[in-house]
Amino acid sequence: MATQITPHFTMEEMLTSQTAIRFRYSEQFTPPNNVKQSLTALCQHVLEPIRVALAKPIRVSSGYRCLRVNTKIGGARNSQHIDGEAADIQVLSMTVEELYQFIKAGNFPYDQLIQEFDSWVHVSFGPRNRRQSLRAVKLGNGHTKYLPG
Ligand SMILES: [Zn+2]
């Protein structure tokens, strides 16, 4: 049975992780209460309003990441995913750029909105919500650069 957070988002999809399944990181699926509260706030204040405004299904490819998952996939050490404050999303019928522009143009109270490598949109909601929008691009040396945009 799925635990519904909002009409269109469940706790299970916010905890999804192929890496955790593959490496048996069971803590990925039993996060502390403060993480569950942050995921709930992210869905209520940002993801559900975007979903309703779009009227299109949103696919969450990564929400919460336990420390071992975050390390394994090379996530930033201070990633908001670790605190349950961020989600990477895609909409199948839109390009990543279209989704990014749609969210940016709305009045959603996000902290950071990042167009990542034309592959997904990262959106976060936390204690502070700066409505900062950025583009992540890969440099030749493998490092990531964040450009305003
Ligand atoms: Zn992300």
pLDDT digits (tens, 9 = 90+) for 47-64: 999 999 999 999 999 999
**What phi and psi values does residue 100 have, to the nearest 5 degrees?**
-60, -50
As given in the structure block, the two tokens for residue 17 are 């992780």
As given in the structure block, the two tokens for residue 99 are 């989704």
So what's the pLDDT on residue 142?
Answer: 85
Distance 80 CA to ligand 1 centre (A): 8
Distance 7 CA to ligand 1 centre (A): 22
pLDDT band at 129 (very low <50, low <70, confident <90, very high): very high
Distance 87 CA to ligand 1 centre (A): 6
C-alpha closest to that of 13 among 32, 34, 28: 28
Compute the average pLDDT of residues 124-136. Answer: 96
CB contact at 8 A, 114 and 121: yes
Classify 4-148 by CATH class: alpha beta
Residue with tokens 């919500």: 129
CB contact at 8 A, 50 and 87: no
Distance 112 CA to ligand 1 centre (A): 10
Predicted confidence (pLDDT) at residue 27 exceeds the cutoff of 90? yes
- Element (DSSP H or E) covering residue 87: strand 86-90
Compute the average pLDDT of residues 78-91. Answer: 98
So what's the pLDDT on residue 149?
Answer: 86
Predicted confidence (pLDDT) at residue 1 exceeds the cutoff of 90? no
